[in-house]
Chains A and B, each alone.
Chain A
Amino acid sequence: GQSLEQPSEVTAVEGAIVQINCTYQTSGFYGLSWYQQHDGGAPTFLSYNALDGLEETGRFSSFLSRSDSYGYLLLQELQMKDSASYFCAVRGTGGFKTIFGAGTRLFVKA
């Protein structure tokens, strides 16, 4: 089967760094994506890792270890506007079918 696990909630202070982990189990693997979703909004693409290592985009970085079936999203210099849900997603087997994790709700406190 295919599954993704990520923490349900994370709380951090404004200006801090937070890491959201994601472990996955798939019969085939092509890459790990991250999406951000604010309350009442639509998921917004953040990053995609197909190869091992760290990808950096501004304050956000994403890491992948295919051998460990593990990845994380790193948010630096947290801002209040970063309070949102963050989803990891993998492409499942067969075509472009995408499986999303249940999401991690990030609370940023002043």
Chain B
Amino acid sequence: DARVTQTPRHKVTEMGQEVTMRCQPILGHNTVFWYRQTMMQGLELLAYFRNRAPLDDSGMPKDRFSAEMPDATLATLKIQPSEPRDSAVYFCASGLGRQAEGTQYFGPGTRLLVL
């Protein structure tokens, strides 16, 4: 049963702390997306990778957010320093090739609360 996995599932931290979220895409998928979901803003694309290369991270606050793919089986999203306004659910999604433009498989999300 191929699924996108994310860790941690829940994270509570204090303002100013570093937060690292991890994602394992479905094996064989070469496109990985990071989304943030809040009640106010809905689903926002933060960054995405194809074949491990970052294609677009224009949706990501550059001063505190960073995204990487150390290898094909791991994507990371880091916030440093974290702020209360970063509280949200962060989803990772993966897709295969051109199909990824319309068909994305989401992980369960990381629910982040910054106090």
Please report A residues at the B interface, Cβ cutoff 8 Å: 30-33, 35, 41-45, 48, 50, 87, 91, 94-103
Contacts and interface: CB of A to CB of B under 8 A. Distances in A.
Contacts of A87: 43
B107 A42 contact: yes
Interface in B91-108: 91, 93, 95, 100-108
Given A50-B102, A102-B42, 15 more contacts: A42-B108, A43-B91, A43-B104, A45-B105, A45-B106, A95-B48, A95-B55, A96-B50, A98-B45, A98-B101, A98-B104, A99-B45, A101-B42, A103-B42, A103-B43
Nearest to A46: B103
Q: 3 tightest A-B contacts by CB?
A: A48-B102, A100-B43, A42-B106
Contacts of A45: 103-106
Interface in B1-56: 31, 33, 42-43, 45, 48, 50, 55-56
Interface residues of B, number: 22
A98 B31 CA distance: 12
A45 B104 CA distance: 7
A31 B102 contact: yes
B43 A43 contact: yes
The CB with the most chain A CB atoms within 10 A, among B33, B104, B105, is that of B104
Given A94-B56, A95-B50, A95-B56, A100 B42 contact: yes
A41 B89 CA distance: 10
Dominant SS among interface residues on chain A: loop
B102 A33 contact: yes
A42 B50 CA distance: 22
Interface in B43-94: 43, 45, 48, 50, 55-56, 91, 93
Contacts of B50: 95-96
B55 to A, nearest CB: 4
Contacts of B95: 96
